Chains A and B, each alone.
Chain A
């Protein structure tokens, strides 16, 4: 009897494993929009844990849409850590320097006066999910209320220090990025105007600048001279109208 039970249990689990191999993909209809981020060579970054042990971390990023006047419409996707305050080993740092341009454009203040979603009030206006280990694709199905829209992406690694944005910068310095658990190189912002009327069907988002290093404002800084490895977090961001 035990032999039969064991065999049935094993067979059931094996069947479940085979079922889990089914592929689940995005299916596009005419006029749907694909937003595809292809990872760059620095997509994965070493985050120091302790005793010289590093955690291989993918970046934090947000993808959102604005109208042509620069007004925020909606978040499409934000990574789980920033969307749910799911930081690990951040030593109390709420990481306001992580994606400040998205935070300011979104403009929702939380109980502690910051523009960052919290554990108690996670992001609800958009999708959030674990950061994929290699790129991401979204399907947007727009209603007929917009002729043009702007798609923006902001991306950032924590502790991504370099000579211009060092770990030991002081809060009063212009290159301060949140201290030892902060950003290092500031978040980068990519953008493109997408025309939904018939015509051009493929766009590439351009790197338009970086965010405030310490997250104190939502401005876009066009001088990229101090940015080094962060430029290779993302390879390309392609938007295709199907």
Chain B
């Protein structure tokens, strides 16, 4: 597990250094904004996406998800993506970047928040000449884990337990964006 965290941190650090180089070398003027609807194997979310005139894009999203195996979409996820544009085609964009956020898990037996961090790749395809609409495919690898403590007391004594909530590591998603 330590190895995995180390690899993730290295990936994140390298991404951050790319961003910082880009931010330092360019003026951070905004070029495009979009609203994006994402359907993934984890959250169904709505995002506000901002693309700079150079190679930086950011995305902040709010989603609902069924995180604790009860099949109820009663958990919430807020996440932020920072993307670096790897390749720009006539109708396509290929991004890579980092994703971080917080999961709010709602469960009848415990209630906890789980921060997460990961790496993300997004392929975007624009529809139409005006490039107002696009479809995208997202793949993320996420690491997020949280321990929680529960106890029960009665006249015979008490019992205590430390459990672990671990989120699903892979997110696959399809998205639709409307640029305005």
Q: Which DSSP category, helix, strand, loop or mixed, fits chain B's interface?
A: strand
- Contact call B82/A13, Cβ cutoff below 8 A: no
22 A-B pairs within 8 Å (CB atoms) are namely A3-B28, A6-B58, A14-B12, A14-B100, A16-B102, A16-B115, A21-B5, A26-B160, A65-B156, A86-B108, A88-B69, A88-B71, A122-B109, A127-B151, A130-B68, A130-B69, A132-B164, A139-B160, A140-B157, A141-B160, A142-B156, A145-B157
Per-residue interface assignment for chain B, residues 144 to 161, with 1 indicating a CB less than 8 Å from any chain A CB and 0 otherwise:
111111111011111111
Q: Check A83/B80 contact, CB under 8 A, given A138-B161, A140-B158.
A: no
The contact size tier of chain B is 35 or more
**Cross-chain contact A141 with B80 (CB below 8 angstroms):** no
Q: Which of A70-78, A154-162, A229-237 contacts B (4 or more CB under 8 A)?
A: A70-78
Mark each residue of chain A from 16 to 54: 1 if its CB lies under 8 Å from any CB of chain B, else 0.
Answer: 110111011110000000000000000000000000000
Q: A108 at interface (Cβ–Cβ under 8 A)?
A: no
Asked whether, in the complex, the Cβ of B109 is within 8 Å of the Cβ of A80, the reply is yes
The smallest C-beta distance from A120 to any residue of chain B, in angstroms, reads 10
Is the CB of B162 closer than 8 A to any CB of chain A? yes
Instruction: Report A's interface with B, CB cutoff 8 A.
Output: 2-3, 6, 9-10, 13-14, 16-17, 19-21, 23-26, 65, 73-74, 76-77, 80, 83-84, 86, 88, 119, 122, 125-130, 132-133, 136-143, 145-146
A-side contacts of B154, CB under 8 Å? 74, 125
Mostly helix, strand, loop or mixed at chain A's interface? mixed
Q: Given A9-B80, A16-B102, A80-B109, are A138 and B159 also a contact pair (CB < 8 Å)?
A: yes
Given contacts A20-B146, A24-B149, A130-B165, contact A86 B157 (CB under 8 A): no
CA distance A145 to B114 in the complex (A): 39
Given contacts A10-B100, A65-B156, A138-B161, 6 further A-B contacts (CB under 8 A): A16-B102, A125-B154, A132-B164, A137-B161, A142-B157, A146-B156
* Cβ contacts under 8 Å, B50 to chain A: 2
Binary contact readout B32-48 vs A (1 if CB under 8 angstroms, 0 otherwise): 00000000000000000
